[in-house]
Structure 1
Amino acid sequence: MAGSLHSLIGLGAMAALLSLAILLMLLKTGWAWSIAIDMPNHRSLHVRPVPRVGGCGVMPVVVAMVLLVAPSLHWLAIGAGVLAIVSQIDDRRGLSVRVRFAVHIGVAVLAVLGVGHGVVWPLAVLAVITLVWLTNLYNFMDGINGIAGGMAVAGFAAFALAAVNAHASLAAAAAIVSGAALGFLALNFPHAKIFLGDAGSVPLGFLAGALGFWGWCEGAWPVWFPALVFSPFIVDATVTLSRRALRGEKIWQAHREHYYQRLAQMNGSHVKASLIYYTVMLGAAVLALIALRLDGALQWVAVVAWLAVLALAGWMIDRRWREHLRSQPAG
């Protein structure tokens, strides 16, 4: 195991350095500003223009290294690459929701067909829906400095550690994604020189779901494991957007109602909100890895207990938010 773990650390470090080098080159040459820029608006939590090019460093490294080191996962690497290209076009020129959604569905279908050997069709349909949701929710959660990069580092590192003994390709791919995200995070937190952009967040969400699905199909972990690892994002996005849908609002429109956004507004700091979420992310990853060693029934007890913790945290943030709004000057 020590040798395998050292190999994963090496892969992650290489991915981090390559990702960081590409992004530094884009900044130093000024190309970052001509590729895509995030202009602040009334719903933004940032106040100055920032290049939206993080995906240009993360995804080429992920796709190339996964194809080279874990070729059995080529379907997932190619799918992530397609999503990155389409999302980069959206970052630069803008695409309709219909076009983006069609691409997301197509890539999810191909991923499930490529890795879901022997999965009965109702589960395959559910897997496609889940992949499309994860692809989009990761993008929805990319709204303050460090949060999307931090979730990728912690989440995919947990995947790598869970698979290190028996699934070398899966562990290697996850370590590569975690490392590439770390290279981006160095330029995004605590002060953002760049943003991740759709070209980074969309394929990262897809990879979280696709690697989780592949690991379940191959027996690397139970179905609850990837959901628990990425629960800080899944729960926040699902609860927030469900509320908006119930109010008849368009869930794909920009807003500032996610729990992480409310924490940032109440604390007056992206850094404090991200650090709180880092604690939750680390807790989810550690609990998931520990729960893998428990008996089946106890595993589900751990999952339910963690969901209760997240529900309590959400209730506390909601209460604080109402008090925050009441304390604001009228008008």
Structure 2
Amino acid sequence: MPKLFDVDLDLWILFLVYGGLFGISAIEFYEVFPTTSYLSLSILLWITLVFCCWYFSFTCSRKFIKQANEDFLDIPNKRSSHRKPTPRGGGKFFFLGFLLGNILLKYIWSASLISSGLGRDLFTIQLLILYCVSIQDDQGHVSARLRYLVHFLVAILAFSFGRVPLPIFGQSPDVIHILGVLLTFLFITGFINLYNFMDGLDGLVAGTVLVQTVFLALYLHQPALIPLAAGLVGFLRWNWSPAKVFMGDVGSTTLGAIIILALINGSGMNTDWGTTPELFWSAIAITFPLIGDATYTIFRRLLRQENIFKAHRFHIYQRLHQSGWTHRQVALTYIAVTGIIAVLIYQWDLAGSAIAALLTLAGILSAELYLQNKGKLTPPSKSDA
């Protein structure tokens, strides 16, 4: 792969695309900036904040690669898609940058990821709880029982600012409320775990979630997501294939939590509790490539009477890699499909979401047929480790 300033050309292209998206977002967010004489200062602070989140993630990830101790080394095993011991836990840097950026953003503009003051504080608390447990999990010091207990606690705290909304369709409001509560628990715990399951190839989750965060920042008018996107750009420099650092559980679980909580919170322009059914079920389609793969794999393993709680290598992205695809090819495919879905939703809302669901289903079926015709899966080459 050609390089420019010792950086692979395809990574430069990704950075340019995301830079363009950042520029578009700056124009889009003009309407949520305070209309005061200090507008220029606010824009300067905004640019500085985004740059700091990128620089923090970029620099700290680089230092972490050199200084990570043995507790944070991911030693390859028979399920691994890499061949060399690689530091894991680098996701803590883009997460901490985002969390600090969200707190600072609170004092720069009235818009924030969580509209109400109570929700904003609890949002920080629940993410910090998840962070503390996940960083220990990256070192192998957390039991499964404690991990799922924390996920359950995160779901409970989420009710301070919203739940999964459902259209009534003539049903009793009490029935809708109960179903909404159950779905909220399912979605929050599900997203946290499924995003973790999908973090198995270089740049896959980081690149795909980068598209998700920029899209949701625009679509939901949530400027606080842009510092997270900036941090992901900084991290991707070291996580892109061949990865020098992995995000670990601390990165994947917090990303899953942030995305679903942003969806449940809804529009940053709305100060009411929660979101609307149309907005939620439109925006959630941006997660279909990641969630679709993970969900399909669970049902496929259930039908094959396999233990779904046992570690495996049967996700579509893993099987594509075993069939001969490189890390980059798989990651770019998921990123591209997510980008196409973003355009569909932005143009047609719920109709776009329905098209995205069909597109995801078609992609899963096509991948399954391809893998079945491919026959025996081959191990990845050493050059793709």
- After TM superposition, the score normalised by the length of structure 1 is 0.86
Supply the distance in 1 between the matched residues of 2:87 and 2:296 (Cα, whole angstroms): 30
Question: Which of residues 106, 121, 127 in structure 1 aligns to 2:153?
Answer: 106
CA contact (8 A) 1:108 1:132 kept: yes
- Answering whether residue 365 of structure 2 is matched by residue 315 of structure 1, we say yes
Q: Radius of gyration: which is bigger? A: 2
Identity %: 29
Q: Which amino acid aligns with 2:300?
A: R
CA contact (8 A) 1:81 1:203 kept: no
What whole-Å deviation, never above 9, does each CA across 1:253-300 have from its counterpart, x for those lacking one? 3222111112222234111111111111111222222223xxxxxx33
Aligned partner of 2:195 in structure 1 is: 138
Q: In the alignment, does 2:145 pair up with 1:88? A: no
Cα deviation, residue 62, structure 1 = 1.7
Instruction: Pick the aligned partner of 1:52 from 88, 104, 117.
Output: 88
Which 5+ residue runs of structure 2 have no aligned equivalent? 1-25, 31-42, 107-111, 166-176, 268-273, 380-385
Match of 1:116 in 2: 162
Supply the AA of the counterpart residue of 1:314.
I
Cα distance in 2, alignment partners of residues 187 and 45 from structure 1: 16
Aligned-partner Cα distance in 1 for 2:318–2:48 = 35
Report what 1:205 is aligned to: 256
AA aligned opposite 2:132? I
Q: 1:79 aligns with which of 117, 126, 135?
A: 126
> What is the CA distance between 1:3 and its match in structure 2?
7.6
Map of 1:167 onto structure 2:
none
Q: How many residues align?
A: 313
Larger helix share, 1 or 2:
1
Q: CA RMSD in A?
A: 2.5
Instruction: Give the unaligned 5+ runs of structure 1.
Output: 165-170, 293-298
The answer to whether the 8 Å contact 2:88/2:138 transfers is yes
2:339 matches 1:305: no
Q: CA deviation at 1:13?
A: 3.4
* Whole-Å separation in 2 of the counterparts to 1:118 and 1:145: 32
Please say if 1:4 is aligned against 2:34: no
**CA 1:94–1:246: 2 relative to 1, 3 Å:** farther
**d(CA) in 1 for partners of 2:277 and 2:49?**
20
Does 1:215 find its partner at 2:272?
A: no
- Tell me whether 1:33 sits opposite 2:69 in the alignment: yes
Q: Residue 218 of structure 2 aligns with which residue?
A: 161
Distance 2:339 2:47 in 1: 18
Distance (whole Å) between structure 1 residues aligned to residue 46 and residue 276 of structure 2: 20
The CA deviation at 1:190 is: 2.5
Q: Which letter does structure 1 place at the counterpart of 2:293? A: D
Counterpart AA for 2:72 = A
What is the CA-CA distance between 1:10 and the residue it aligns to?
5.5
Aligned mates of 1:226, 1:252 — CA distance in 2: 29
Tell me the equivalent position of 1:296.
none
User: 1:159 and 1:12, CA in 2 relative to 1: closer, same or farther beyond 3 A?
Assistant: farther
Could you say which residue in structure 1 is the equivalent of 2:105?
Answer: 69
Q: Alignment partner for residue 250 of structure 1, among 285, 307, 315? A: 307
Q: Are 2:224 and 1:178 equivalent residues in the alignment?
A: no
Cα 1:126–1:107 change in 2 (3 A) is same
Contact 2:323 2:378 in 1 (8 A): no
3-state secondary structure, aligned to 2:239: coil
Equivalent residue for 2:246? 195
**What residue is the counterpart of 1:19 in the other structure?**
57
CA deviations on 1:54-80 (whole Å, 9 max, x unpaired) are 222122112222122137423223222
Distance (Å, rounded) in 2 between the aligned partners of 1:33 and 1:286: 42
Partner of 2:36: none
Q: Answer whether contact 1:52 1:194 (CA < 8 A) is retained.
A: yes
Superposed CA deviations along residues 108-143 of structure 1, whole A, max 9, x for unmatched, are 11122x212898444133212211100110000001
Q: Quick one: distance in 2 between partners of 1:327 and 1:115? A: 46
Task: Render the CA deviation track for 1:189-208: whole Å, top value 9, x for unaligned.
Answer: 03201001001100110111
Amino acid at match of 1:246: L
